[in-house]
Structure 1
Amino acid sequence: MPLQTERTLTLDRREGPHGEVALRQRGEHHEIIANGCFLMDTSDGRSERLLVDAALDALGDRPAPSLLIGGLGVGFSLARAAANPRWRHIAVVEREQAIIEWHLTGPLAAISRDALADHRSVILHTDLVAYLRTTTHRYDALCLDIDNGPGWTVTDDNENLYSPAGLATCQGRLEPGGILAVWSAQPSPAFEDALRNAGFSGVRTEEIRVARGVPDMVHLAVRPA
Protein backbone atom coordinates (compact mmCIF):
# COMPACT_ATOMS: atom_id res chain seq x y z
CA MET A 1 0.00 0.00 0.00
CA PRO A 2 1.48 3.42 -0.92
CA LEU A 3 2.31 5.81 1.93
CA GLN A 4 -0.17 8.64 2.41
CA THR A 5 1.31 12.12 2.37
CA GLU A 6 0.00 14.95 4.52
CA ARG A 7 -2.58 17.02 2.72
CA THR A 8 -1.78 20.71 2.30
CA LEU A 9 -4.64 23.20 2.51
CA THR A 10 -4.36 26.91 1.74
CA LEU A 11 -6.41 28.60 4.46
CA ASP A 12 -5.86 32.19 3.33
CA ARG A 13 -3.98 33.94 0.55
CA ARG A 14 -3.69 37.69 0.14
CA GLU A 15 -1.98 40.11 -2.21
CA GLY A 16 -0.45 43.10 -0.45
CA PRO A 17 2.01 45.92 -1.07
CA HIS A 18 4.94 43.52 -0.60
CA GLY A 19 3.54 40.65 -2.66
CA GLU A 20 1.57 37.55 -1.79
CA VAL A 21 1.38 36.06 1.68
CA ALA A 22 -0.39 32.77 2.39
CA LEU A 23 -1.26 30.62 5.39
CA ARG A 24 -1.28 26.89 4.74
CA GLN A 25 -2.13 23.89 6.87
CA ARG A 26 -0.11 20.71 6.50
CA GLY A 27 -1.43 17.98 8.74
CA GLU A 28 -1.73 19.50 12.22
CA HIS A 29 0.75 22.29 11.53
CA HIS A 30 0.52 25.71 9.89
CA GLU A 31 3.07 27.42 7.65
CA ILE A 32 3.52 30.92 6.28
CA ILE A 33 4.53 31.41 2.64
CA ALA A 34 5.60 34.82 1.30
CA ASN A 35 5.93 35.34 -2.45
CA GLY A 36 6.15 31.58 -2.89
CA CYS A 37 9.00 31.33 -0.35
CA PHE A 38 8.58 29.19 2.77
CA LEU A 39 9.17 31.34 5.85
CA MET A 40 8.33 29.26 8.91
CA ASP A 41 5.90 26.76 10.34
CA THR A 42 4.60 25.53 13.67
CA SER A 43 6.32 22.14 13.58
CA ASP A 44 9.29 23.05 15.79
CA GLY A 45 10.00 26.59 16.95
CA ARG A 46 13.14 25.94 18.98
CA SER A 47 15.26 28.37 16.94
CA GLU A 48 12.65 31.14 17.20
CA ARG A 49 12.61 30.63 20.97
CA LEU A 50 16.40 30.58 21.18
CA LEU A 51 16.47 33.88 19.31
CA VAL A 52 14.84 35.49 22.34
CA ASP A 53 16.59 33.37 24.97
CA ALA A 54 20.06 34.06 23.55
CA ALA A 55 19.42 37.80 23.53
CA LEU A 56 18.24 37.77 27.14
CA ASP A 57 21.19 35.65 28.26
CA ALA A 58 23.59 38.04 26.54
CA LEU A 59 22.11 40.94 28.51
CA GLY A 60 23.33 39.34 31.73
CA ASP A 61 21.70 40.78 34.84
CA ARG A 62 20.40 43.96 33.20
CA PRO A 63 17.16 44.78 35.06
CA ALA A 64 13.80 45.01 33.27
CA PRO A 65 15.05 45.07 29.66
CA SER A 66 12.90 46.04 26.70
CA LEU A 67 12.63 43.96 23.53
CA LEU A 68 11.77 44.60 19.90
CA ILE A 69 10.91 41.54 17.81
CA GLY A 70 11.11 42.05 14.07
CA GLY A 71 8.51 39.78 12.47
CA LEU A 72 5.52 38.18 14.19
CA GLY A 73 5.73 34.99 12.13
CA VAL A 74 3.91 32.08 13.74
CA GLY A 75 4.33 33.68 17.17
CA PHE A 76 6.94 31.48 18.84
CA SER A 77 9.34 34.36 19.65
CA LEU A 78 6.58 36.54 21.07
CA ALA A 79 5.18 33.70 23.17
CA ARG A 80 8.64 32.89 24.52
CA ALA A 81 9.30 36.49 25.47
CA ALA A 82 5.93 36.95 27.18
CA ALA A 83 6.50 33.77 29.20
CA ASN A 84 9.53 35.40 30.86
CA PRO A 85 8.73 38.03 33.52
CA ARG A 86 12.15 39.68 33.09
CA TRP A 87 11.08 41.54 29.94
CA ARG A 88 9.60 44.93 30.83
CA HIS A 89 8.25 45.78 27.38
CA ILE A 90 7.79 43.60 24.26
CA ALA A 91 7.10 45.25 20.91
CA VAL A 92 6.56 43.23 17.73
CA VAL A 93 6.85 44.88 14.32
CA GLU A 94 4.84 43.15 11.58
CA ARG A 95 4.13 44.69 8.16
CA GLU A 96 1.61 42.11 6.94
CA GLN A 97 -1.93 42.78 8.12
CA ALA A 98 -2.87 39.23 7.18
CA ILE A 99 -0.35 37.73 9.61
CA ILE A 100 -1.59 39.98 12.41
CA GLU A 101 -5.17 38.87 11.74
CA TRP A 102 -4.16 35.19 11.69
CA HIS A 103 -2.98 35.73 15.26
CA LEU A 104 -5.86 37.87 16.48
CA THR A 105 -8.73 35.87 15.06
CA GLY A 106 -7.23 32.98 13.11
CA PRO A 107 -5.53 29.62 13.66
CA LEU A 108 -2.28 31.10 15.00
CA ALA A 109 -4.08 32.54 18.02
CA ALA A 110 -3.49 29.21 19.74
CA ILE A 111 0.20 30.12 19.95
CA SER A 112 0.03 33.85 20.66
CA ARG A 113 -3.27 34.45 22.50
CA ASP A 114 -1.80 34.66 26.01
CA ALA A 115 1.20 36.70 24.84
CA LEU A 116 -0.98 39.25 23.05
CA ALA A 117 -3.15 39.59 26.14
CA ASP A 118 -0.07 40.41 28.22
CA HIS A 119 0.02 44.12 29.16
CA ARG A 120 3.72 44.28 28.24
CA SER A 121 3.10 43.29 24.60
CA VAL A 122 2.23 45.51 21.66
CA ILE A 123 2.03 44.86 17.91
CA LEU A 124 3.25 47.64 15.61
CA HIS A 125 1.74 47.30 12.14
CA THR A 126 4.53 48.80 10.07
CA ASP A 127 7.59 47.92 8.02
CA LEU A 128 10.58 47.05 10.21
CA VAL A 129 13.17 48.90 8.13
CA ALA A 130 11.02 52.05 8.04
CA TYR A 131 10.29 51.80 11.78
CA LEU A 132 13.95 51.51 12.72
CA ARG A 133 14.75 54.55 10.58
CA THR A 134 12.06 56.78 12.06
CA THR A 135 11.55 55.80 15.68
CA THR A 136 13.51 57.46 18.46
CA HIS A 137 12.81 54.63 20.89
CA ARG A 138 15.73 52.51 22.08
CA TYR A 139 15.57 48.88 23.12
CA ASP A 140 17.82 46.61 25.12
CA ALA A 141 17.45 43.85 22.54
CA LEU A 142 16.48 43.62 18.88
CA CYS A 143 15.49 40.12 17.75
CA LEU A 144 15.04 40.12 13.99
CA ASP A 145 13.37 37.30 12.06
CA ILE A 146 11.84 38.76 8.90
CA ASP A 147 13.80 36.78 6.31
CA ASN A 148 15.44 33.41 5.82
CA GLY A 149 18.72 35.17 6.58
CA PRO A 150 20.86 38.15 5.59
CA GLY A 151 21.56 36.60 2.20
CA TRP A 152 18.08 35.21 1.58
CA THR A 153 15.55 38.01 1.93
CA VAL A 154 11.83 37.75 1.32
CA THR A 155 11.72 41.02 -0.63
CA ASP A 156 14.54 43.05 -2.16
CA ASP A 157 13.96 46.08 0.06
CA ASN A 158 14.74 43.97 3.14
CA GLU A 159 18.35 43.84 1.96
CA ASN A 160 18.72 47.37 3.32
CA LEU A 161 18.45 46.01 6.85
CA TYR A 162 21.72 44.08 6.49
CA SER A 163 23.63 46.83 4.68
CA PRO A 164 26.17 49.03 6.52
CA ALA A 165 23.55 51.79 6.78
CA GLY A 166 20.93 49.33 8.05
CA LEU A 167 23.22 47.88 10.69
CA ALA A 168 24.16 51.40 11.79
CA THR A 169 20.44 52.11 12.20
CA CYS A 170 20.02 48.95 14.29
CA GLN A 171 22.89 50.01 16.49
CA GLY A 172 21.28 53.41 16.97
CA ARG A 173 18.07 51.76 18.16
CA LEU A 174 19.91 49.84 20.88
CA GLU A 175 20.80 51.03 24.34
CA PRO A 176 24.55 50.90 25.11
CA GLY A 177 25.41 47.27 25.76
CA GLY A 178 22.24 46.19 23.96
CA ILE A 179 21.99 43.01 21.90
CA LEU A 180 21.20 42.49 18.23
CA ALA A 181 20.06 38.94 17.42
CA VAL A 182 19.34 37.94 13.81
CA TRP A 183 17.81 34.61 12.77
CA SER A 184 19.19 32.84 9.70
CA ALA A 185 18.57 29.56 7.92
CA GLN A 186 22.27 29.22 7.11
CA PRO A 187 25.65 30.43 8.41
CA SER A 188 27.01 33.71 7.06
CA PRO A 189 30.64 34.60 7.81
CA ALA A 190 30.16 37.63 5.54
CA PHE A 191 27.38 38.92 7.80
CA GLU A 192 29.56 38.40 10.88
CA ASP A 193 32.20 40.56 9.19
CA ALA A 194 29.55 43.16 8.35
CA LEU A 195 28.51 43.31 12.01
CA ARG A 196 32.09 43.88 13.11
CA ASN A 197 32.64 46.50 10.43
CA ALA A 198 29.49 48.27 11.65
CA GLY A 199 31.06 48.65 15.08
CA PHE A 200 29.40 45.80 16.96
CA SER A 201 31.43 43.79 19.46
CA GLY A 202 31.10 40.24 20.76
CA VAL A 203 29.96 38.96 17.37
CA ARG A 204 29.16 35.26 17.43
CA THR A 205 26.79 32.72 15.87
CA GLU A 206 24.83 30.06 17.72
CA GLU A 207 23.80 26.89 15.87
CA ILE A 208 20.41 25.37 16.60
CA ARG A 209 19.77 21.80 15.58
CA VAL A 210 16.24 21.25 14.30
CA ALA A 211 14.14 18.15 13.78
CA ARG A 212 14.53 18.21 10.00
CA GLY A 213 17.14 19.64 7.66
CA VAL A 214 20.27 21.67 8.33
CA PRO A 215 20.69 23.59 11.60
CA ASP A 216 19.33 27.13 11.98
CA MET A 217 21.55 30.01 13.09
CA VAL A 218 21.25 32.99 15.39
CA HIS A 219 23.77 35.79 14.85
CA LEU A 220 24.46 37.81 18.00
CA ALA A 221 26.23 41.16 18.37
CA VAL A 222 26.58 43.81 21.10
CA ARG A 223 26.39 47.57 20.84
CA PRO A 224 29.47 48.75 22.74
CA ALA A 225 28.69 50.53 26.00
Structure 2
Amino acid sequence: MLSASLLCKKFSNFTAVTDFDLSLKPGEIFGILGPNGAGKTTIIRMLLGLIKPSSGEVVINGFSLSGNFVNAIKNIGCLVETPFFYNYLSGRENLELLFKISNPKLNPHQDVEQTLKLVKLFDRADDTVKKYSQGMRQRLGIAAAILHKPKIVILDEPTNGLDPEGMIEIRKLILSMAKNQNISFLISSHLLSEIEQLCHRIAILNLGKTIAMGSVSQLIQPGDDNLEDLFLRLIKTKK
Protein backbone atom coordinates (compact mmCIF):
# COMPACT_ATOMS: atom_id res chain seq x y z
CA MET A 1 0.00 0.00 0.00
CA LEU A 2 2.32 2.73 1.27
CA SER A 3 5.96 2.24 2.10
CA ALA A 4 8.76 4.62 2.94
CA SER A 5 12.34 3.48 3.02
CA LEU A 6 15.17 5.37 4.73
CA LEU A 7 13.57 8.78 4.15
CA CYS A 8 15.86 11.69 5.03
CA LYS A 9 15.39 15.42 4.67
CA LYS A 10 18.03 18.08 5.13
CA PHE A 11 17.58 21.84 4.98
CA SER A 12 21.03 23.41 4.54
CA ASN A 13 22.90 22.31 7.67
CA PHE A 14 19.78 21.12 9.53
CA THR A 15 18.58 17.51 9.35
CA ALA A 16 14.81 17.41 9.85
CA VAL A 17 14.25 13.67 9.32
CA THR A 18 16.68 10.76 9.47
CA ASP A 19 16.08 7.26 8.05
CA PHE A 20 12.29 7.09 8.45
CA ASP A 21 10.80 3.71 7.50
CA LEU A 22 7.13 2.82 7.17
CA SER A 23 5.02 0.00 5.75
CA LEU A 24 1.29 0.72 5.89
CA LYS A 25 -1.11 -2.21 5.48
CA PRO A 26 -4.63 -2.18 3.97
CA GLY A 27 -7.18 -1.07 6.56
CA GLU A 28 -4.49 -0.13 9.07
CA ILE A 29 -4.58 3.07 11.13
CA PHE A 30 -1.04 4.26 11.81
CA GLY A 31 -0.22 7.17 14.11
CA ILE A 32 2.78 9.49 14.16
CA LEU A 33 3.60 11.17 17.47
CA GLY A 34 6.28 13.58 18.50
CA PRO A 35 6.91 16.97 20.11
CA ASN A 36 7.04 20.15 18.04
CA GLY A 37 9.99 19.99 15.66
CA ALA A 38 10.17 16.19 15.73
CA GLY A 39 9.71 15.91 11.95
CA LYS A 40 6.05 14.88 11.69
CA THR A 41 5.02 17.57 9.20
CA THR A 42 8.16 17.07 7.12
CA ILE A 43 7.40 13.35 6.82
CA ILE A 44 3.82 14.01 5.74
CA ARG A 45 4.96 16.54 3.15
CA MET A 46 7.46 14.02 1.74
CA LEU A 47 4.82 11.26 1.60
CA LEU A 48 2.50 13.62 -0.32
CA GLY A 49 5.23 14.71 -2.73
CA LEU A 50 5.06 18.31 -1.54
CA ILE A 51 8.78 18.31 -0.80
CA LYS A 52 11.46 16.04 -2.20
CA PRO A 53 13.41 13.79 0.18
CA SER A 54 17.16 14.31 0.37
CA SER A 55 17.39 10.52 0.15
CA GLY A 56 15.14 7.50 0.45
CA GLU A 57 12.08 6.34 -1.45
CA VAL A 58 8.28 6.41 -1.18
CA VAL A 59 6.20 3.74 -2.95
CA ILE A 60 2.40 4.01 -3.11
CA ASN A 61 0.36 1.06 -4.34
CA GLY A 62 3.37 -0.21 -6.28
CA PHE A 63 4.28 3.14 -7.88
CA SER A 64 7.37 5.11 -6.96
CA LEU A 65 6.46 8.65 -5.91
CA SER A 66 9.59 10.06 -7.52
CA GLY A 67 9.43 7.91 -10.67
CA ASN A 68 5.69 7.80 -11.36
CA PHE A 69 4.15 10.66 -9.42
CA VAL A 70 0.72 10.80 -11.08
CA ASN A 71 -0.10 7.11 -10.66
CA ALA A 72 1.30 7.08 -7.14
CA ILE A 73 -0.42 10.18 -5.77
CA LYS A 74 -3.88 9.33 -7.14
CA ASN A 75 -4.08 6.60 -4.51
CA ILE A 76 -3.83 9.12 -1.65
CA GLY A 77 -6.32 11.49 -0.09
CA CYS A 78 -5.30 14.03 2.52
CA LEU A 79 -6.51 16.55 5.04
CA VAL A 80 -3.43 18.39 6.27
CA GLU A 81 -4.83 21.75 7.35
CA THR A 82 -8.19 23.28 8.27
CA PRO A 83 -10.33 22.47 5.22
CA PHE A 84 -11.48 25.40 3.07
CA PHE A 85 -14.99 25.46 1.62
CA TYR A 86 -17.26 28.04 0.06
CA ASN A 87 -19.57 29.04 2.92
CA TYR A 88 -22.36 30.18 0.60
CA LEU A 89 -22.51 26.78 -1.13
CA SER A 90 -24.00 23.65 0.36
CA GLY A 91 -21.90 20.68 1.40
CA ARG A 92 -23.11 18.82 -1.68
CA GLU A 93 -22.30 21.74 -4.01
CA ASN A 94 -18.79 22.06 -2.57
CA LEU A 95 -18.08 18.37 -3.23
CA GLU A 96 -19.63 18.53 -6.71
CA LEU A 97 -17.41 21.49 -7.56
CA LEU A 98 -14.34 19.69 -6.30
CA PHE A 99 -15.26 16.58 -8.29
CA LYS A 100 -15.80 18.55 -11.52
CA ILE A 101 -12.39 20.21 -11.23
CA SER A 102 -10.72 16.79 -11.17
CA ASN A 103 -13.16 15.01 -13.50
CA PRO A 104 -14.73 17.60 -15.84
CA LYS A 105 -16.25 14.99 -18.18
CA LEU A 106 -17.90 12.84 -15.49
CA ASN A 107 -21.16 13.24 -13.62
CA PRO A 108 -20.42 13.78 -9.93
CA HIS A 109 -23.82 12.74 -8.59
CA GLN A 110 -23.24 9.10 -7.64
CA ASP A 111 -19.77 9.61 -6.15
CA VAL A 112 -20.83 12.66 -4.16
CA GLU A 113 -23.98 10.99 -2.82
CA GLN A 114 -22.04 7.89 -1.73
CA THR A 115 -19.38 9.99 -0.03
CA LEU A 116 -21.91 12.15 1.82
CA LYS A 117 -23.56 9.00 3.17
CA LEU A 118 -20.21 7.55 4.19
CA VAL A 119 -19.27 10.58 6.30
CA LYS A 120 -22.84 10.84 7.63
CA LEU A 121 -23.59 14.26 6.15
CA PHE A 122 -26.27 13.17 3.69
CA ASP A 123 -29.14 14.59 5.77
CA ARG A 124 -27.41 17.99 5.97
CA ALA A 125 -25.94 17.99 2.47
CA ASP A 126 -28.17 20.80 1.20
CA ASP A 127 -27.41 23.15 4.09
CA THR A 128 -24.90 25.88 3.34
CA VAL A 129 -21.49 25.22 4.88
CA LYS A 130 -21.74 28.39 6.99
CA LYS A 131 -24.39 26.52 9.03
CA TYR A 132 -22.06 23.57 9.70
CA SER A 133 -20.48 22.97 13.08
CA GLN A 134 -16.71 22.56 13.25
CA GLY A 135 -17.17 18.78 13.46
CA MET A 136 -19.35 18.79 10.34
CA ARG A 137 -16.77 20.87 8.48
CA GLN A 138 -14.11 18.37 9.45
CA ARG A 139 -16.27 15.50 8.19
CA LEU A 140 -16.78 17.41 4.95
CA GLY A 141 -13.00 17.78 4.75
CA ILE A 142 -12.62 14.02 5.08
CA ALA A 143 -15.32 13.62 2.41
CA ALA A 144 -13.25 15.79 0.07
CA ALA A 145 -10.19 13.65 0.85
CA ILE A 146 -11.93 10.36 -0.02
CA LEU A 147 -14.10 11.61 -2.91
CA HIS A 148 -11.77 10.09 -5.52
CA LYS A 149 -11.77 6.74 -3.66
CA PRO A 150 -8.14 6.65 -2.52
CA LYS A 151 -6.68 3.59 -0.86
CA ILE A 152 -4.75 5.69 1.68
CA VAL A 153 -5.78 8.82 3.60
CA ILE A 154 -3.33 11.07 5.44
CA LEU A 155 -4.77 13.22 8.21
CA ASP A 156 -2.81 15.89 10.06
CA GLU A 157 -4.45 16.74 13.40
CA PRO A 158 -7.93 15.57 12.26
CA THR A 159 -9.64 16.47 15.56
CA ASN A 160 -7.87 19.79 16.11
CA GLY A 161 -10.24 22.42 17.47
CA LEU A 162 -13.17 20.03 17.93
CA ASP A 163 -15.23 19.67 21.07
CA PRO A 164 -15.44 16.20 22.71
CA GLU A 165 -18.57 15.27 20.74
CA GLY A 166 -16.92 16.24 17.45
CA MET A 167 -13.79 14.28 18.34
CA ILE A 168 -15.86 11.16 18.99
CA GLU A 169 -17.66 11.60 15.64
CA ILE A 170 -14.39 11.80 13.70
CA ARG A 171 -12.90 8.86 15.62
CA LYS A 172 -15.92 6.67 14.83
CA LEU A 173 -15.79 7.73 11.17
CA ILE A 174 -12.11 6.81 10.79
CA LEU A 175 -12.56 3.44 12.52
CA SER A 176 -15.59 2.65 10.36
CA MET A 177 -13.88 3.52 7.06
CA ALA A 178 -10.77 1.52 7.96
CA LYS A 179 -12.88 -1.52 8.85
CA ASN A 180 -15.61 -1.38 6.21
CA GLN A 181 -13.87 0.28 3.24
CA ASN A 182 -10.40 -1.13 4.00
CA ILE A 183 -8.94 2.39 3.73
CA SER A 184 -5.53 2.84 5.33
CA PHE A 185 -5.00 5.93 7.49
CA LEU A 186 -1.84 7.74 8.48
CA ILE A 187 -2.60 10.18 11.29
CA SER A 188 -0.40 12.81 12.88
CA SER A 189 -1.66 14.17 16.17
CA HIS A 190 -0.52 15.68 19.44
CA LEU A 191 -3.53 14.17 21.26
CA LEU A 192 -2.10 11.03 22.82
CA SER A 193 -5.45 9.66 23.99
CA GLU A 194 -6.83 9.99 20.46
CA ILE A 195 -3.91 8.08 18.96
CA GLU A 196 -4.15 5.42 21.66
CA GLN A 197 -7.84 4.78 20.89
CA LEU A 198 -7.51 4.90 17.10
CA CYS A 199 -4.24 3.42 15.95
CA HIS A 200 -3.16 -0.15 15.36
CA ARG A 201 0.49 0.93 15.35
CA ILE A 202 2.38 4.12 16.14
CA ALA A 203 5.76 5.71 15.50
CA ILE A 204 7.20 8.07 18.09
CA LEU A 205 9.61 10.68 16.72
CA ASN A 206 12.10 12.95 18.42
CA LEU A 207 14.60 15.28 16.78
CA GLY A 208 13.85 13.77 13.37
CA LYS A 209 14.50 10.16 14.41
CA THR A 210 12.12 7.27 15.04
CA ILE A 211 12.69 6.27 18.66
CA ALA A 212 9.92 3.65 18.86
CA MET A 213 7.52 1.87 16.49
CA GLY A 214 4.88 -0.78 17.13
CA SER A 215 1.51 -1.25 18.77
CA VAL A 216 0.88 0.60 22.02
CA SER A 217 0.57 -2.72 23.86
CA GLN A 218 3.97 -3.81 22.51
CA LEU A 219 5.70 -0.56 23.49
CA ILE A 220 4.25 0.01 26.94
CA GLN A 221 6.51 -1.28 29.72
CA PRO A 222 6.00 -1.83 33.46
CA GLY A 223 5.54 1.60 35.02
CA ASP A 224 3.71 2.99 31.99
CA ASP A 225 0.02 3.40 32.79
CA ASN A 226 -0.85 4.68 29.32
CA LEU A 227 0.55 6.11 26.09
CA GLU A 228 1.31 9.43 27.75
CA ASP A 229 3.64 7.75 30.24
CA LEU A 230 5.33 5.83 27.42
CA PHE A 231 5.72 8.96 25.31
CA LEU A 232 7.24 11.04 28.12
CA ARG A 233 9.60 8.24 29.14
CA LEU A 234 10.93 7.77 25.61
CA ILE A 235 11.31 11.49 24.90
CA LYS A 236 13.25 12.01 28.14
CA THR A 237 15.41 8.93 27.56
CA LYS A 238 16.38 9.91 24.01
CA LYS A 239 17.29 13.53 24.72
TM-score interval, smaller chain: 0.3 to 0.5
What TM-score results when the alignment is normalised by the length of structure 2?
Answer: 0.34
Structure in which a larger fraction of residues adopt helix: 2
What TM-score results when the alignment is normalised by the length of structure 1?
Answer: 0.35
Using CA pairs under 8 Å that are at least 6 residues apart, name the structure with larger relative contact order, 1 or 2. 2
Indicate the structure (1 or 2) with the bigger Cα radius of gyration: 2
